Each structure stands twice: as structure tokens, then as C-alpha cells.
Amino acid sequence: MQEVVIVTGSSQGVGLGIASVYLRDGAAVVGCDRSPAPDELASNPAYLHVQAELTGKGSVQKVVSACLERHGRIDTLVNNAGVGNAKAFEETSAEDFQRYYDINVAATLEFSRQCLPHLKASKGSKGSIVNIASVFGLVGAAQSAAYVPTKYAVVGITRMLATEFGGEGVRVNAVAPGLIFSPGTQKRIETSPWWHRMMIEGAPLGRVGRAEEVGEACLFLSSSRKASFITGVVLPVDGGWSIAKFLPNPELS
């Protein structure tokens, strides 16, 4: 039976990579974003795009209803939509904190709440949520005042839902990406030697990740065959950055 997957924030970056991986694996994907369907996915008959501002009233219901109308069920929810590029604490306003909370936390909670009845109905086959956290939700990080707390919250949401709904056949896990390639990432790497040293040279694998590599981790964690006994896990996909964060000292080699 073809798996039915909702991927939030699917028009670009990590979300586009996640949706592409599920489509290549044969799933039917319902993507949503405030932007139109990406060219890479728009012509794929297994992809349905719902254009919506996810913090808007009724937007989550709009996406869930479109999925049920097309496919009649939901097997996997990937809560990817989020906002980044936060500022230092003293430069962050109350409005900034609220904006990050609304998309990174509240939308994750609301999608999970509305999808859970359908995921529970999928018991015995799929029934999975994969949340996109961040390595900055696992460690302290300066100058990301609105971002870091919301990604810590995603980790907490993951473990709470996994605990509460495991007995009903729903597994809930998270992926914590490190530095993943995007046009914005490329610009920052090229213009900030510090960023290059910290996020690339400071990772054991020494490179930027690809969005599809995050997608492959999501695909694994949502698989009822390959990950059937895995729930409540937060899997870093970061080239080892979260275990190292600095280069070995060449003077000690």
C-alpha cells in the first residue's frame, strides 16, 4: 500500500529535500508552504501542494482536509516548517520570540494534534511523526535567541508525544540537522570565515549536508519495517558536529 505523507514547508530547502526523498521511495506526498509548489515537484502526480500560511487561522485544517480528500488517510507527518536566522538575545524583541514560537512550535503542535486521530487509525502499518529539530536544540548556541528555545521545544514535543501515544501504535521521532546546503547557507559560508570554521571545519565529516540526507533520515525513522522499535529518538544529521564542534589541534598530532 502506498504510504501517505504530509510534509510541511515543502517548497524549498530541507522540506523540498524531504518531499523528494519520499516521492522517490514511492510515497504519495501532500506538501504545504506559503510559497507555490516547487518546479521540481509540481509535475509529479504523486505530489499535492497546498499553499497556506501555516500560522493562519484554519490553515492546518486546510492541509489535513486536502490530504484526506485525496487519499483518505495519513500515515506519516513530517513537521518541517520553521524559521531560522535569529538574532542575539538583547536584539530580539517580544514580537520576534512570538513569531518563532508560532511557526516552530505552535504549528508543530497543531499539525500533530489534527493528524494524530488519523495516525492512530494507521496502527499496524505506519502511524509516525517525524519532527525537524536542530543541533541547536541539543546544545547551547549564542546569537540565536528566538531559534534555540523553539528547537529545544521540538525535542520536548517529540519525547512527550512518543511517550503518550506509543501505546496506540504511533511512533514519534525527530531529526536534528546540522548545517545543510541552501543558497543562504552558501552565502554565509563564503562571507564568514568564522561560520566556516565553526560549522564545517568543526564537524568530523568536514562538509555541508544535503537536504536529501535529512530526507533519508526521516524516511528511515518513519518506516514501520526498518524502525518499528524506535520512538522518542532525536537523530542528529550533522556530520558529527554535535559530538565535536571543533577541529583537533594539529600541534598534538
Q: Where are the domains of the chain?
A: 4-181+209-239
Between CA 199 and CA 67 the distance in angstroms is 37
Distance of CA 251 to the CA centre of its chain: 39
User: What pLDDT score does 214 carry?
Assistant: 98
**Looking at residue 244, what is its pLDDT?**
87
Spelled out in words, what is the top-level CATH class assigned to the domain 4-181+209-239?
alpha beta
Joined together, the cell numbers standing for residue 140 give 547551547
- Three cell numbers written together for 138: 541539543
Q: Model-level pTM?
A: 0.94
Dig out the grid coordinates for 41 from the structure: 515537484
User: What CA–CA distance (Å, rounded) separates 214 from 211?
Assistant: 5
- Over residues 192-219, the pLDDT tens digits come to 887 788 888 889 999 999 999 999 999 9
- Which position among 22, 47, 100, 147 bears the catalytic label? 147
CB 134 within 8 A of CB 83: no
- Which helix (H) or strand (E) segment holds residue 111: the answer is helix 107-121
Range scoring the smallest mean pLDDT among 70-74, 138-142, 160-164, 217-221: 138-142
Task: Compute the distance between CA of residue 141 and CA of residue 118 in angstroms, rounded to an integer.
Answer: 37
- Catalytic site includes residue 147: yes
Q: What is the pLDDT of residue 123?
A: 53
201 DSSP β-pair partners: none
- Residue 249 in this model has a pLDDT that exceeds 80: no
Q: Is 189 left (phi over 0), alpha (psi -120 to 50) or beta?
A: alpha
Whether pLDDT at 253 is above 60: no
* Total Cβ atoms within 10 A of residue 109: 16
Q: What is the average pLDDT value for the chain, to the nearest integer?
A: 92
Confidence of residue 247 (pLDDT cuts 50, 70, 90): low
Query: Between these two residues, 189 and 158, which has the higher pLDDT value?
Result: 158
| Residue 173, all three cell numbers | 521521532
